[in-house]
Amino acid sequence: MTTSQQIEQVLMMNGFRVISIPKGLNRKKYDEWLSDHSCFATYVRELRLYVPGHNKPFRFDWGNPYKKIAIEFEGGAYSGGGHVRGKKYTLDCLKYNEAQLQGWKVFRFTCRSGFTSIIERI
């Protein structure tokens, strides 16, 4: 089982529903879909975060728009993956800072960070 699957399993074991966003939605349709599916107990895979001045939205691995909680899995932390290289790391910092400015709580995990106990307390 991959770490992503383990995180989803922990979310579901703690009473959360994990759903995927339909592909190909423009921003208006995305916002409508999100408002129809947002509730206290739902996490959305690949949640979009729109930032003024950027053409493409940032994406979080999972997010609960109702509670403004984002979960990000930092893949490749021990193998030199994209999240630890200059350009991607800089974009990730911008994403996390922008999310916090918009009132989001961002939880970041690696494959060795003991995410289970933290997710259970979110």
Q: Look at residue 72 and tell me whether its pLDDT is greater than 80.
A: yes
Burial class (CB in 10 A: 0-12, 13-18, 19+), 4: middle
* pLDDT-based confidence at residue 83 (cuts at 50, 70, 90): low
- Could you tell me which of 55, 56, 95 has the C-alpha nearest to residue 74? 95
d(CA 83, CA 60): 13
Percentage of the chain modeled with pLDDT above 70: 87
Domain 3-121 maps to which CATH number in 1.10.3470, 3.40.960, 2.20.25, 3.30.530? 3.40.960
Q: Above 80 in pLDDT, residue 64?
A: yes
pLDDT tens sequence across 4-55: 788 888 888 887 888 887 888 888 888 888 777 767 678 888 888 888 888 8
Is the pLDDT score of 113 beyond 80? no
Is residue 88 predicted with pLDDT exceeding 90? no
For residue 109, what pLDDT is reported? 83
pLDDT at residue 65, as a whole number: 87
90-105: per-residue pLDDT in tens? 888 899 999 999 999 9
DSSP 8-state symbol, 113: S
Please check whether residue 42 is in contact with residue 54, taking contact to mean a CB–CB distance below 8 angstroms.
no
* All structural domains of the chain with their residue ranges: 3-121
3-state secondary structure of 49: strand
Q: How many CB atoms lie within 10 A of CB 15?
A: 8
- The CA distance from 120 to 122, in Å, is 6
Measure Cα distances from 45 to 17, 52, 87 in Å.
10, 22, 24
Query: Do 108 and 102 contact (CB within 8 A), yes or no?
Result: no
